[in-house]
Copies of this chain bind each other. A is one copy, B any other.
């Protein structure tokens, strides 16, 4: 290992993103507190100073990792508000923008699974974690406002508290990190369709009571 290690120190073979990926995997496996810069250096086959060349501290690695997940989620929200940035038909109604946000969140989760996993475990023990929690709350608040708008325009049922709707929807979406494995039977598009189908149309067959009543 030491020969291999010194070889690697000669040509590290990790850019900043590569270090970040390995660090996030270690944080998820052992916990952030239990993962020292020494443990990271061992895992990477780098010296600690080689890591410090890219990141000023372990805290900065965490900050960058959480920003990866949060930035992607915020990007989805941003996109939904600017129809001209979205491919295809311009979504205008709040319900369509919500559809876009829910689908986008599933994609972010699948494509940045370890980063979102790390984000969901943050409990606010450090300044970096507290800033991440504040950004999560701001995101949740904007989605809640979107649900509220969709209720007001008459496209979503308004008999459920908007905060409960937002929490149950993201509870469902975030739970995907518990079982999703890349390369499994469901890809992100399929999974996003499933989430939308349940959240917006429900599992009950349209031939069931409600529509029968309307038709009858």
Which residues of A come within 8 Å of B, CB atoms?
95, 154-157, 159-161, 164-165, 167-176, 178-179, 185-186, 191, 194-195, 197-208, 210-211, 214-215
- State whether A185 touches B200 (Cβ < 8 A): no
Q: Could you say which residues of chain B place their CB within 8 Å of the CB of A95?
A: 204
Sample (25) of A-B pairs whose CB atoms are under 8 Å apart: A155-B208, A156-B203, A157-B205, A160-B194, A160-B198, A160-B203, A161-B185, A161-B194, A165-B198, A165-B203, A167-B175, A167-B176, A168-B198, A169-B172, A169-B198, A170-B175, A172-B175, A199-B202, A200-B203, A200-B204, A201-B202, A201-B210, A206-B210, A206-B211, A211-B214
- State whether A206 touches B214 (Cβ < 8 A): yes
CB-based nearest B residue for A178 = B171
What CA separation (Å) do A159 and B197 show in the bound complex?
10
Q: Could you say which residues of chain B place their CB within 8 Å of the CB of A204?
A: 95, 155-157, 200-201
What CA separation (Å) do A203 and B191 show in the bound complex?
18
What CA separation (Å) do A175 and B174 show in the bound complex?
8
What CA separation (Å) do A30 and B179 show in the bound complex?
25
Q: Could you say which residues of chain B place their CB within 8 Å of the CB of A155?
A: 204-205, 208
A179 CB contact (under 8 Å) in B167, B207, B215: B167
What CA separation (Å) do A194 and B208 show in the bound complex?
19
**A33 → chain B, closest Cβ, in Å?**
12
A205 CB contact (under 8 Å) in B156, B186, B197: B156
What CA separation (Å) do A157 and B194 show in the bound complex?
11
- State whether A164 touches B178 (Cβ < 8 A): no
Q: Could you say which residues of chain B place their CB within 8 Å of the CB of A203?
A: 156-157, 160, 165, 199-200
What CA separation (Å) do A191 and B131 show in the bound complex?
30
**A153 → chain B, closest Cβ, in Å?**
10
- State whether A168 touches B157 (Cβ < 8 A): no
What CA separation (Å) do A169 and B198 show in the bound complex?
9
What CA separation (Å) do A198 and B172 show in the bound complex?
11
Q: Could you say which residues of chain B place their CB within 8 Å of the CB of A170?
A: 175
